[in-house]
Homo-oligomer: A and B are copies of this chain.
Amino acid sequence: MPNPLDDSALDQAFRTARSANGFSDEPVTEADLRAIYDLLKWGPTSANQQPLRIVFCTSDDAKEKLAAACSGTNAPKVRKAPVTAILGMDMAFHDRLPTLFPHADARAWFVGNDALIRESAFRNSTLQGAYFLIAARMLGFDTGPMSGFDAAAVDAAFFAGTSIKTNFISTLGHGDPAHTHDRLPRLSFEDAARLA
């Protein structure tokens, strides 16, 4: 039976980790991005759907294209970050289920049910987006997740002609503590949970 991880691991993943608003100049390499993916991919999704699709904006061109679709406060963060990840969801994720979930005809659960496709893609790509944030932290990186952008414009710029839609975006790099905001309050157990 596994034991609790030590305090330094809990701190790095959750307790003292902070969303980054600025980053050091240290680069993020393709090997880093592959390592983050190869960790987050193990997180569970319903019927192994894995709808998450990621575009890692690393070039100035891609960052500029993404920044142009962001809110006024988020655009400069995208321009300055070493990488910004577009965390998208493939609305045709079910076409891969014969391979990803071979012991049932899971594809048939979704064909023709657009409401279920949308709900499942959104829920499970968001779970995977959270795995991205935590996996990056566990590997020593910092992230800055954002939902202040024009999703239709990001879709048009990065996913035209595909079945992929943008869910949220996140900067990625090595955070500069000089740009970290004060910690905001969290709900107490009593405010957020109860036993039944």
Residues of A within 8 A of B (CB): 1-5, 8-10, 12-15, 17, 19, 24, 26, 30, 33-34, 37-44, 46, 48, 50, 52-59, 61-62, 96, 99-101, 120, 122-123, 126-131, 133-135, 137-140, 145-147, 158, 167-168, 174, 184-187, 189, 192-196
Closest to A90 in B: B192
Complex Cα distance, B105 from A87, in Å, reads: 27
Contact status A14-B37, CB under 8 Å: no
For the A-B complex with A14-B40, A43-B133, A50-B192 known, give 13 more contacts whose Cβ atoms are closer than 8 Å.
A5-B140, A15-B39, A43-B134, A46-B147, A50-B186, A50-B187, A55-B193, A56-B193, A56-B195, A57-B196, A58-B196, A123-B147, A127-B133
Complex Cα distance, B61 from A68, in Å, reads: 54
Please give the count of copies of this chain that the complex contains: 2
**Other-chain residue from B42, B48, B140, B168 in contact with A123 (beta carbon distance below 8 A):** B168
Contact status B130-A13, CB under 8 Å: no
Closest to A9 in B: B9
Complex Cα distance, B43 from A61, in Å, reads: 31
Contact status B168-A138, CB under 8 Å: no
Contact status B62-A196, CB under 8 Å: yes
**Other-chain residue from B37, B100, B135, B187 in contact with A184 (beta carbon distance below 8 A):** B100
**Other-chain residue from B33, B43, B126 in contact with A195 (beta carbon distance below 8 A):** B33
Most buried by B among A33, A34, A137, A187: A187
Q: How far is the CB of A183 from chain B (nearest CB, A)?
A: 9
Contact status B126-A130, CB under 8 Å: yes
**Other-chain residue from B37, B61, B131, B192 in contact with A193 (beta carbon distance below 8 A):** B37
Complex Cα distance, B140 from A55, in Å, reads: 33
Contact status A13-B14, CB under 8 Å: no
Closest to A65 in B: B196
Contact status A185-B100, CB under 8 Å: yes
